[in-house]
Amino acid sequence: MRIAVLSGKGGTGKTFVSVNLACAAYKAVYVDCDVEEPNGHLFLKPCITKKEQVKVKVPEVDMSKCTGCRICVDFCKYNALAYINNKLMVFNEICHSCNGCIYLCPEKALKAKERAIGEIEEGISENVTVFTGRLNTGEVSGIPIIKGLIEKLSDEDTVIIDCPPGSACVVMESIRKADYCILVAEPTLFGAHNLSMVYDLVKLFDKPFGVVLNKCMDGENPSEQFCIENKINILSKIPYDEEIGRLNSEGTIVVRADERYHQIFSKILEVIS
């Protein structure tokens, strides 16, 4: 079963929930799709077994063949090409690697060139196989890396997908193949607003889902209110606990350190499966 963990904003506890779910399982695969700033590895500290580059194809022009017809320039919906002073300019960072320009060039002046944009790291942390995607600094889109990560997953394992924050394309790519989505939310008005955004997203993708209310305190919880109003299944309420904060700041995984938390996360897994 593939479980994606997402939230409308950063800092709600996606990685906290993902890492602890993976560790509470008998055996699991943890996938860090937050490729701009992967941090699950800081807790899991995997022993790295494999590293590979992720490459995308971008067009390269042979100016001796280019006649300046601009078919490629006009075709590109992302405007990754410009024709200036009888020269074709290619903006690699903007290219989405559709290869349409190469296909359409009547002079065959364009060919595909591979370009590395990041890497995928594989490792082991006790009962958890860890995949970490990492986008190179300055690159615009992490989608090819997320696609590469998702391709590596088998159907049998318990897979925990730690998504990037928000509800944009990178999150959609991360949850596309998920069987279940866990939405993590904070007990604030801002948290409830962000929860409503990912709620809309998982409904749009028609995914079964539930909410983990994190950092719960006494008093009002706008995110919980939102769940009740929309009849959303609350999987768990994790209390605001300074001990969690302390363990987290030391890079300790709470289910490996504290039996109480092992029970909380085991129960979430039970409820879902």
Partner 1 sequence: MKVSVPLENKSLESPVCQSFGRTPLFALVDTESCAVEYLDNSAAASQGGAGIKAAQMIVDSSAKVVITYRLGQNAADVLNAANIEVYKAQDGTVIENIEKWKEGKLSLLDDIHPGFHNYGGM
Chain residues binding partner 1 by CB under 8 A are 73, 76-85, 87, 89, 91, 93-94, 140-141, 168-169
CB of 54 to partner 1, least distance (A): 18
| Polymer length of the chain | 273
Q: What's the closest the beta carbon of residue 155 comes to partner 1, in angstroms?
A: 31
**Start-to-end C-alpha separation, the chain:** 8
Do the beta carbons of residue 149 and residue 38 sit within 8 Å?
A: no
In the complex with partner 1, the residue whose CB is nearer, 21 or 54, is 54
- Nearest approach, Cβ of residue 101 and partner 1 (Å): 13
Q: Rounded to the nearest whole angstrom, what is the least distance from the CB of residue 89 to partner 1 in the complex?
A: 6
Q: How far is the CB of 90 from partner 1 (least distance, A)?
A: 10
64 CB-near residues (< 8 Å, 6+ apart): none
Pick 92 or 196: Cβ nearer partner 1: 92
- Comparison of 66 and 182: residue with beta carbon closer to partner 1: 66
Q: What's the rounded Cα separation, in Å, for the pair 229 and 195?
A: 13
User: CA-to-CA distance for 72 and 109, rounded, in angstroms?
Assistant: 10
Judged by beta carbon, residue 92 or residue 248, the one nearer partner 1 is 92
| Backbone dihedral region for residue 56 (phi beyond 0: left; psi -120 to 50: alpha; all else: beta) | beta
Task: Pick between residue 73 and residue 153 the one whose CB is nearest to partner 1.
Answer: 73
Nearer to partner 1, 92 or 266 (CB): 92
Question: Which amino acid is residue 78, in one-letter code?
Answer: Y
Residue nearer to partner 1 on the CB measure, 141 or 214:
141
**DSSP notation for 82-105:** EEETTEEEE-TTT-----HHHHH-
DSSP class of 183:
E
Residue 75 near residue 99, CB atoms below 8 Å: no
CB atoms within 10 A of CB 230: 12
Least Cβ distance, residue 164 to partner 1 (angstroms): 13
Q: Beta 47-61 vs 110-125: how paired, if at all?
A: antiparallel
Q: 153 forms bridges with which residues in the sheet? A: none
**Phi, psi (deg, nearest 5) at residue 203:** -70, -40
Q: What's the min distance (Å) between Cβ of 10 and partner 1?
A: 15
